Structure formats: structure tokens, C-alpha cells
Structure 1
Amino acid sequence: MAANKDMFLWWGSGSPPCWKPMLVLAEKEMWEGLPNKLISFDKKENKEADILAANPRGQVPTFKDGSLVVNESNAICMYLEEKYSNDSNRLLPVDVEKRSQVYWRMFESGNIQSNITVPIVYLIWNTKPEDRNQAELDEKFTKAKEELGYWERTLTGRSYLVGDRFTMADVFFYPFVAFLVRLGATLREFPALKQYYDLISQRPTVQATWPPHWKEGSTAPILAAL
């Protein structure tokens, strides 16, 4: 679609919230050629004037469509879906009952963030090894496995989270899983989840939006226990 020439997206590499609208744009064949700016979190570029003018919170993703500004990852995804969907690229089912199942998984996917990323990843990133309570960390990993076990049961016998095709549920969920794998999670105890990750990772829209810095090498496998 040529409509993307009037759009602009500020985003950060490897950020699941940023990846979600990028996937929606790619699924609607709007990512290629879309004006955008990859920002550096290390350099605090998300606090620069151009972003703050559009998003006073200084967060990404920040998105513009012409003169319209839409912030917050989920809001951007829903806006794009409502405005730019057609029968070939729809990510939300027309049927209200089927759509309810997609909504359920979409909004449930944040449990990965709250039960794994925040209590474990952020803790490890922000504390020195000698300052961590290993017993508490072990307990957090146990709870993380419980969370992954829930999704393992959900995905057993399925290729996608809802139905037999890629939906907005997968847009919301997959980036969180990919983030865990990036940080060393092998998913060895969760074969259905691993199969899901491998399948979605091969999707052309996922490859087209793959975090650039992930292609440059590995990182510390802090989630190897998963």
C-alpha cells in the first residue's frame, strides 16, 4: 500500500512492544518502505525532541499516520487493524465469538512480561550477582516455568494460538517468546511452545521485521534454565 508514505514509526530493536506494530504493518504489506527511525535506548534517543513532541512520555513505539499520532503498542496495532484491514490481511476474525478468543489470548499474553521478564530479566540486568538472593531467584524461575507450562498446554496440538491461521493473538504473543529465546531460553521442557516458536520464526513478516541487532551475535544466556 502506498498509504505508508504518510506514516512514521519510532522503534527500538528487540523490544516486544515495538515489534508488535511492525508485524501488523508487515502483515498488511505496509512495512517495506515505511518511513521510520530506529532509536538507541543506550543513548536515550527516546527522550529526544522529535519523539517527545509526539509522545510526551518519551516511549517507543511512537507512531504517526499523517497528522494523527497514536502511541502505546496495543493501540497502534488496533488502529492499523481497524483502518487498513481487508479480507486478505485481516488479523481479527469478523465473527464476534471467534474474535473474542483472539482478544482473550492477546490480552493474556502480557503475563509473559509480568511473570518472567519483569521479575527475572529486569532483576538480573539491574543487580550485581553478589547482590542477588539465589533462593528467591530460583523461586522466580519456578514460577516462570509454571507460566510457560500454561502456554505449553494451550499450544499442544495447535500451530497458532487461535484457530488455524496467524492472528493478532500471535502478533501479541510471539515477540515475548522470541525475547525469552534471545536471552537463552531453550524451551526444552516445552516442545509445543518450541515448535510454535520455530514455525512463527520462519514467517516472512517475522523475518522482515527481525530485530537488527539480534543478527549481529548472541547475548548472555541469562534464561538458560528455561
Structure 2
Amino acid sequence: MAQDMTLLWCSGSPPCWRVMIALEEKKLQGYNSKLLSFEKMEHKSQQVLDINPRGQLPSFKHGNIVVNESYAACFYLESQFKSQGTKLIPDGTEEQALMYQRMFEGLTFYDKLSAAIFYDYYVPEGERLESALKRNKEALVTELKLWEGYLEKLGSGSYLAGKSLTLADVIVFPTVATLFIFGLSAERYPKLGEYYALMKERPSVKASWPPHWPENLMGQDTLKDM
């Protein structure tokens, strides 16, 4: 089953990590895993382009089926393997609605994280502005307060859509983990810190933890003052 699956990925990429957590939660270990490097431009290699003409990671293939977008791949895995591993889409209407809401809010969350942390990477040196970086960080602070409030409302020990892990957690946790790896304070954001600690204990997260964290990660204090 998993032997027919191939995942091309990069360490520390939240979109890649989403798919890896989903594979673990659905008990699909043993897939063909290929770690590539953004720095070496391996995401633009022919190996990737043959699966993903956009030259992006993750690139995922199951038999002859290609599903490259991380949200789509996670949905696909849950849809195809509903009765295997963790049930990632709850039956309850309210919990399911909240799961979908938080999942797609996760897109905005990740965009604001990227704008604040990876500004120098995405913006050419001659076009960078301190005022823009300041705005990006302020926008991220607003977003963090929103998620802190979501978790506070759910209560201690909750996942993003309730007491059970769902696709919302598979999708959003890599963003949360990246924040803390880059120095976000669990004292300033205690509910997010509690959620981070809860998710870190899941076998799926431990098994898929980015291999280069934290030893080779630069800028680990980027968010310490937020």
C-alpha cells in the first residue's frame, strides 16, 4: 500500500510536514521518501518536475495518482484510508465545521508567518523596507492573539477543533512549531505553547520531526520579542 507512494520533501517546510504527519496518522509508514534541498535548488530538478511541473515541494504520488498541494494530499489520504489509522474528519457537525474553519484559516496563519520570518528570503535586497518588515511582524502578532484566543476558548488539553486530533491539527501544527523554533515565547502565548507541547508528544510528530531542527537552523531568536 504505502510502497506505492512517493513523497519528495524538504526538511522544515510546513507544507511538506503536513503531508508527512498525515501519512503517519493514517499508518502509511514505508512510503518512498526523498529528502531534497531548497538551497541546492533540488525542487527544480527533473525528478520533481516530472511529478510537479510547478517545481514545488511537497510532490506526492500514489501509484499513477499525483496530488501535490499539501491540503489536497491530506484530504486525499483521509478520503482513501478512512478506516485506517486516526480518523481525521470528525462526525459531529459542530466539530467538523470548526475543523474546516481552522484548516482554512491556517492558510492566512502560514502566510503571515512567512511574511514575518522569511521576508529577506522572498524580497530582493534592494527592495526591502524596515517599515514593511515591521508591518509584517505586527500582522503576525495580531494573528497569534487570534489563535491564542481560539485555544483559550476550547480549554486546556484541546486540539484545534475539540478534544480529538483532526485535519486542522495536521495542517496548522507545522506553522505553530515553526513559530516556536524561531523563538516565540510560550510565556507570552501560553495557550499556543500548551498546544505545541501537546502535539509534540504525538508519535506522528516525533516520527516526522524536521531532521535539521534545531542544530542547523539560523535565526532561532527571530521571534523572541514578539
Q: 1:156-201 CA distances to partner (integer Å, 9 max, x unpaired)? A: 1242111111111111111001111122222431111111111111
The 8 Å contact of residues 4 and 34 in structure 1, kept in 2 or not, is answered as yes
Letter in 1 for 2:20: M
Mapped pair 1:111 → 2:94:
no
What corresponds to 1:46 in structure 2? 43
**Aligned Cα root-mean-square deviation (Å):** 2.1
Pair 150,29 (structure 1): closer, same or farther in 2 beyond 3 Å: same
Deviation at 1:138, TM superposition (A): 3.2
Q: Contact 2:25–2:85 at 8 Å: present in 1 too? A: no
d(CA) in 1 for partners of 2:92, 2:38: 40
Per the alignment, residue 74 of structure 2 pairs with: 77
- Relative to 1, partners in 2 of residues 1:47 and 1:171: Cα closer, same or farther, differing over 3 Å? same
Give the letter for the 2:2 counterpart: N
Tell me how far apart the structure 2 counterparts of residues 49 and 127 of structure 1 sit (CA, whole Å). Answer: 26
Deviation at 1:95, TM superposition (A): 3.4
Amino acid at match of 1:86: S
Structure 1: runs of 5+ lacking an equivalent:
none
Which residue number in structure 2 is paired with residue 150 of structure 1? 146
- In structure 1, C-alpha distance between the alignment counterparts of 2:9 and 2:104, rounded to whole Å: 21
Equivalent AA in structure 2 for residue 178 of structure 1: A
Distance in 2 separating the partners of 1:218 and 1:6: 32
How far apart are residue 133 of structure 1 and its match?
4.2
Check whether the contact 1:182–1:219 (CA below 8 A) recurs between aligned residues: no
The code of the aligned residue for 1:186 comes to: S
Corresponding position of 1:11:
9
Structure 1 partner of 2:120: 124
Whether 2:73 is the aligned partner of 1:57: answer no
Query: Relative to 1, partners in 2 of residues 1:167 and 1:222: Cα closer, same or farther, differing over 3 Å?
Result: same
Cα distance between partner residues in 2 of 1:84 and 1:11: 21
Q: Please tell me whether the aligned partners of residues 181 and 214 of structure 2 are also in contact (alpha carbons under 8 angstroms).
A: no
Q: 1:84 to 1:140 in 2, by over 3 A?
A: same
Match of 1:172 in 2: 171
1:216 paired with 2:199, answer: no
CA drift at 1:207: 0.5
- What amino acid is aligned across from residue 95 of structure 2 in structure 1? K
Deviation at 1:36, TM superposition (A): 1.2
Structure 2 Cα separation of the partners of residues 116 and 7 of structure 1: 30
Matched AA of 2:89: L
1:89-108 mapped onto 2 (5 Å cutoff): 89-108=86-105
CA distance in 1: counterparts of 2:66 and 2:84, whole angstroms: 26
TM-score norm. by structure 2 comes to 0.90
- Name the count of aligned residue pairs: 222
Bigger mean CA offset, 166-175 vs 180-189: 180-189
- So what's the TM-score if we normalise by structure 1? 0.90
User: Contact 2:11 / 2:210 at 8 angstroms: preserved in 1?
Assistant: yes
Q: Which residue of the partner structure matches residue 183 of structure 2?
A: 184
Deviation at 1:142, TM superposition (A): 2.5
Per-residue deviation at 1:148?
A: 0.4
Cα 1:194–1:130, aligned 2, differ >3 Å: closer, same or farther? farther
Query: How many percent identity over aligned positions?
Result: 40
- In structure 2, the residue matched to 1:21 is 19
Gaps of 5+ in 2: none
Contact 2:10–2:36 (CA under 8 A) maintained in structure 1? yes
